[in-house]
Amino acid sequence: MGNGDSGTSGQPLLVLGKIVEILDAFSFARPSMTLGEIREATGFPTSTVQRLVTNMAALGILDRHGDQIRIGVKMAYWAAPAVKGIDVLDLLLPVLRELRDVTGETTCFFRAEQEYRVCVAMAETDHPLRREMHVGKILPLHAGAAGRVLLAWDEKLTQSVLSHPLGQITGSTITSADELRLAVKQTRADGYAISVGEREESASGLAAPVFNASADLVGALTISGPTLRIPLERATEWIDLIVDAAEQATRLLGGRLPSAAPTI
């Protein structure tokens, strides 16, 4: 780096702070930016952005393809040892609790097990009126927002689920293979899913994916509760909340977003 931003200037922490701000400017919603967009996001002078980005790219912290800049894949390798030996659920529980406190509703983390989804962590609402949920609860994959997310990033699992009859649970349950396939594709394109009354007549939920350092799906982060409190309009208002929380969880795991969508 230039002398103005080097440790010899007596301001190494200032330089590190700028590097962190540049990295924080990237997100799953904006995984790639130009130099100008980084400058706008950080407020740094153009010369500072050019100098730091050039050096970060040389070290593998950033990747450059034409005028587009992304966080370097090498970052995933550096991040992996940070979470090795730490239980994933220990990392995710604070995220679930914070999301529960913000929304007031039950938040859960689901994983796919064979052709079902299982609640493996949760932070329960304080409302007396609540959906029955507990750690270890097993639910079908074809009904509900969490199931849709778990299918959207697992082509093999989706094909397996679609090869069997889809049971009718409520009047809103998707039972058509073609309809579910389209819903799964839409979830993949959107980066989240919302469901109303698919598994329980009077319940709603929304979910977003969490990934590991290999860009493999770890599970689905969800907010759920009575439709009385979470009508479709409210669920839509919370899209950014659930996506941001899932992104935070992914970052805690040293994860990254897959680069390409499968054909489902």
> Do residues 154 and 217 lie in contact, with contact meaning Cβ atoms separated by under 8 Å?
yes
Top CATH class, 3-72: mainly alpha
pLDDT tens for the chain, 264 residues: list them: 444 444 444 566 788 889 989 998 887 667 889 999 999 999 999 999 999 999 999 998 999 988 999 888 777 666 555 545 446 777 889 999 999 999 999 999 999 988 899 999 999 998 888 777 888 888 999 999 999 999 999 999 999 999 999 999 999 999 999 999 999 999 999 999 999 999 888 999 999 999 988 889 999 999 999 999 999 999 999 999 999 999 999 988 888 878 655 555
CATH number assigned to the domain covering 82-252: 3.30.450.40
CA distances from 229 to 109, 151, 193, 232, 241 (A): 20, 27, 18, 10, 16
Q: pTM here?
A: 0.69
Sorted by where each begins, the domain ranges of the chain are 3-72, 82-252
